[in-house]
Amino acid sequence: MAAALRGSFVTLAKGLNGLWLNQLGSRPLSVGSCLRMPEAPPARADSTFKVTMVPGDGVGPELMTAVKEVFKAGDVPVEFEEFHLSEVQNMASEEKLDQVLASMKTNRVAIKGKIHTPMERKLDLFANVVHVNSLPGYSTRHNNLDLVIIREQTEGEYSSLEHESVKGVIECLKIITREKSRRIAKFAFDYATKKGRNKVTAVHKANIMKLGDGLFLQSCAEVAELYPKIKYENMIIDNCCMQLVQNPYQFDVLVMPNLYGNIIDNLAAGLVGGAGVVPGESYSAEYAVFETGARHPFAQAVGRNIANPTAMLLSAANMLRHLNLEYHSHMVSEAVKRVIKQGKVRTGDLGGYATSDEFTRAVISNLAI
């Protein structure tokens, strides 16, 4: 029965296009100027998908081991092309990075751990999406949360444009462009439209950075006019942080520049259980990279078998959905959620005593193959 189901879904995957959000081109915006986001790559002749894997630093390698074990147990038709890049071990040379980029350009889908590389800019992975969703069975101060954080990640404070103008004085440039601000705004509104969401909130600091954030805010407002069915509002970043803690239910989709998004991702992850439970993904017009939503290396857990695999497993499930492997995606994500809801096997960050391996084995035992 399982083999028949898997065969049906693989066959279905070959004929389906990946459902992607529209990319904003350089031409003037209009409701009709919609460009397709990248399609999922086709399955190979042997009905498997090839995916680039970069475990990275921190607990990344341990989390990737959990993904590979669950995929193997679930007979998921994915073959990983693994590359070991490491800033800590000085294993992130230009040559190795070029190999990863070449693999990405061929496979068009990747899953990665925590490592800082110029991958985002080289592949134009302009949109980072983090879906913050409460896990059934795990209670926090705010339950039943469901919000999405979208950030532009190819410019802003992370443009890596720094120099020492005179000795002891460093200038760090924050780059904001109209083209990329409108592109990420359109991505956010398209996402809200396709996912049936009702509101987009632009997060900024235009009261102080009047030109840079002012341009971002103006671009968001211009794009919002093209989506009259989606409610639009804006909020200053410091107030947004407070409101997320006090009343996160007011938010639906949030869109923001690079640094603010990095901060808000981690803050929002803390509302539903921490860095170990929130998945994330990054998109360009051609590529998709799946990772944890809160980019925390959890260095104190390295080698101790205590890291929570939940975020990486849920991210892997999202990757399978992108590959149109809906059956396998649902199988993995539901197994993870069942383990958490049962409450018997939880890692230390969720108040339990289970090791990473024990949690992974519990997920495998809950796979409805």
Per-residue pLDDT, averaged over 101-130, amounts to: 90
Q: How far apart are CA 291 and CA 182, in angstroms?
A: 25
pLDDT digits (tens, 9 = 90+) for 88-103: 666 667 888 889 999 9
Instruction: Give the tokens for residue 215.
Output: 């341009």
Predicted pLDDT of residue 47: 81
Name the phi and psi angles at 307, rounded to 5. -70, 145
DSSP codes, 296-346: ---GGGTTTT----HHHHHHHHHHHHHTT-HHHHHHHHHHHHHHHHH-SS-
Please give the mean pLDDT across all residues of the chain.
87
Confidence of residue 297 (pLDDT cuts 50, 70, 90): low
The larger pLDDT score, comparing residue 177 to residue 57, is at: 177
pLDDT digits (tens, 9 = 90+) for 44-80: 545 899 999 999 888 889 999 999 999 999 999 999 9
Predicted pLDDT of residue 369: 57
Q: How far apart are CA 35 and CA 32, in angstroms?
A: 9
Nearest to 176 by CA among 206, 140, 137, 207: 206
pLDDT digits (tens, 9 = 90+) for 225-252: 999 999 999 999 999 999 999 999 999 9
86: pLDDT strictly greater than 50: yes
Neighbours of 364 (CB within 10 A): 17
Long-range contacts of 357-363 (CB under 8 A, 24+ apart): 357/305, 359/66, 359/308, 359/309, 359/310, 360/65, 360/66, 360/69, 360/70, 360/309, 363/66, 363/70, 363/309, 363/313, 363/332, 363/335, 363/336, 363/339
Q: How far apart are CA 230 and CA 189, in angstroms?
A: 8
Instruction: Please give the share of the chain, as a percent, with pLDDT higher than 70.
Output: 85
Per-residue pLDDT, averaged over 173-178, amounts to: 94
Predicted pLDDT of residue 59: 87
Q: What's the distance, Cα to Cα, between the start and end of the chain in Å?
A: 9
pTM of the model: 0.85
The H-or-E segment that residue 358 falls in is helix 356-365
Beta bridge partners of 99: none
301: pLDDT strictly greater than 80: no
CB distance 346 to 360 below 8 Å: no
